[in-house]
Structures are given as structure tokens and as C-alpha cells.
Amino acid sequence: MQRPDAHFMRRAIELAEKGRGAAAPNPTVGAVLVKHGQIVAEGYHTACGQPHAEIECLRNAAENGITPADCTIYVTLEPCNHYGKTPPCSKAILDAGIKRVVIGLKDPNPKAKGGADFLREHGVHVETGVLEAECRDLVADFLTWIQTPYPYSILKLASTLDGKIATRTGHSQWISGEESRKRVHELRKKVDAVIVGGGTFYADNPQLTCRLEGVEQQPLAVIVTKRLPENPEQFTLLCDRPEQVIFWTNEKSALSDAARKLQSSGSTVLAVPEQNGELDLAAGLSWLRQEKNCLYTLCEGGGKLALSLLENMLVNEFQLHMAPKIVGDHSAPDIFSGRSIATMDEALQLRIIKTELSGDDVIVTLRRQEM
């Protein structure tokens, strides 16, 4: 891989991120057109149903008076090779006279792949695999949607430097700083559902809303618990927006008087199958995707639920908000607990894909090792 290729692909990745969310359920894709070592046109997939990144880039070239035939196009995902809501980008590139195409990731979608081969067959020089890992991370949500029945699941937890999520008395407000808390609301704005465990629901009485300006639709609130509330009027969620609250529980609780009371107020009580005495979280996530059309979910804890999601490989992205604070109390609750392992080989292995400062905090974004 030539160093300039990586430089230009990195810019295409930056552009692709601008379409994050709006492009769903399509992948986020960016493209740049380069002539004599300079970027002369740019484009990204702005929204589902709108032109793809390559087309936007070619349009930008026309606006700038650039002849594409003299250029190399860099695109984060293999140009599509089928007629969907838009014509194939592979043909548009060929018609533009472009002689060199550099691709980050080959398209994993069997309906759209084949653009690279089509271009090669028509005499275009095509290179693939430039910043492939970064381009794969760019479309991790899209890969989830085409390869699994689940939404793209984000796990967010806040902890101190010594891995505590509260004091021994349960006091946790606030571990992270104001800027990090704002980031959480930005996350809530982008997802279709926010998921918490029963412990968090009962201890914190959360609102689970996005409190940023301009929010038209609040995310669904999903509570994972075998113990349903007997007095719904004590909980903010069930007073303010009961029709947007979903309880995942076991079959026994789903048939209880508490369940009927919740349902009469507009909430949904879903009987989730149990495996080894634990609720089948995969079944719940699949239900959210199929029945509620949820593409993105955000889990905000607690630790037991978070660990279960990680152990069952149901976390696509883990954001750890780490505050520069130390509790130093072994009785304070840990961010994760409940496993018993003998060697480090048994530890859950994640990989860091990004670290960034957020006020005084550090946000570490991770994925599973195999993703």
C-alpha cells in the first residue's frame, strides 16, 4: 500500500462519518477524487435513498470543473454493482472514464458486491484492502444488520480509574463529567432504544430520555428484569411515557397481576425465553429489530446486564467513560463482576479502536476481538 493511498482513504473515512445514522440501513460510505496528488472532489452517502458516495463525488467534480478521467477515485466500500434505489456506482465510475479505483473494503452484501470485478473486466485498475480494518469498523453497523437478526448494540458504562461504578452506598452521581454526560444524550439521540437492567431501574428511577434540543422522538426504554414493579406510579418512566416502555421478563412474571397493570397503562411486557436461569437477551434484541424496527440500541447498565451482553457476544461497540477518580473501596460495586476464571486466557478479550478526551474524562471505544 502506498502511503498517499492511506492518506486519501483516511479522508474518505472522515467524510463517510458525516452520514452516520442518516444513511441507515445503508452503509456509511465516503469517496474522494484525486488528481496529481490533490483532492479535487469529495462525496459521501448523505441519507438512505439519496445518491451513493461515488455519485456525490462525481457531482462535486462536475461542480468544480474537474474531468474525472484524469483522476483516481478512493472509496471506503466497494462500488455497488446492482440496480437498487439507485443505478450501480460501478457503471457510473466506468462511464466517467476513471482509470484507477482504490477500495477500502470489498462489499460483504451479496446483492451489491461485484463492482471491483466489473471494473477490472472493463480495463480499470482496481486496488482493494487500503485501510481495510478501519473501513470495516466504519460499516460495523451495516455488517450487523446483514449478518445477524439483531440491532447494532452499543454498551456505555462510566467508571472510576479503579473500575467502580458507585460507592458502597450506591451513590453514583456523578462519576463522569458534564461533557461526558452530554455525550450520552447525543448517543440517546441516535439510537432507537435504551436498555437498562432492573437494578438500575429500581435504584436510579431513570428517565432514559435525550435531553438535547430538537429531539422529535425519544428512544424506547427497555427494562430487563424478572421482578416487575408493583407500583408503577413511583417511577418517572411509567408516569411520563408508559407507552414507550418495554419490560423483558420471564414467562411467570409476564402472566402476573403486575404485568397486567403495566399493560393496561400502555407499557409492553415481553416474555423472554430463559437459558440456564437467565433471560435470553438475544431473543429480546431480535424482537426489537423485527417488531420495533430498531437498528441501534444503547445499553447503559448495570454491570450484570452489561457483562451478560458481552459474554453472549451481543455488544457491537463498547464505550467506557473513565473518570480520573479513585474510590479505593473493595466493597464498592465493580464495573463488571460475577465471573470466576482461573487463567487470563479465559478473560473476555476486546480491542481498542479509539480513545478520546471528554472534558476531564477519557472515552475508550472498544469492540470484540473478532470484529
**C-alpha span between 204 and 93 (Å, rounded):** 54
Annotated binding site for substrate: 172, 188, 208, 211, 300
Residue 294 belongs to what H/E stretch? none
pLDDT, tens digit, 9 for 90 and up, residues 96-112 = 999 999 999 998 887 76
DSSP string, 117-164: HHHHHTT-EEE--TTHHHHHHHTHHHHHHHHSSS-EEEEEEEE-TTSB
Identity of residue 23: A
The share of the chain scoring above pLDDT 90, in percent, equals: 82
Instruction: Calculate mean pLDDT across residues 8-23.
Output: 95
Boundaries of every domain in the chain: 4-145, 148-368
Residues annotated catalytic, as ranges: 54
pLDDT of residue 298: 97
Instruction: Calculate mean pLDDT across residues 83-94.
Output: 83
- Compute the mean pLDDT over every residue in the chain, rounded to the nearest whole number: 93
Q: Domain 148-368: what homologous superfamily?
A: Dihydrofolate Reductase, subunit A (3.40.430.10)
pLDDT of residue 371: 59
171: confidence class by pLDDT, cuts 50, 70, 90: confident
pLDDT of residue 4: 84
pLDDT of residue 266: 96
Annotated binding site for NADP(+): 158, 174, 200, 204, 302-308
pLDDT, tens digit, 9 for 90 and up, residues 125-166 = 999 999 999 999 999 999 999 999 999 999 999 999 999 988
Q: Which residue has the cell 476486546?
A: 350
Annotated binding site for Zn(2+): 52, 80, 89
pLDDT of residue 329: 94
pLDDT of residue 133: 93
221, 244 Cβ separation under 8 angstroms: yes
Residue 1: pLDDT above 60? no
Residue 120: pLDDT above 60? yes
Annotated binding site: 52, 80, 89, 158, 172, 174, 188, 200, 204, 208, 211, 300, 302-308
Domain 4-145, CATH number (from 3.40.50.9100, 3.40.140.10, 3.50.50.60, 3.90.1640.30): 3.40.140.10
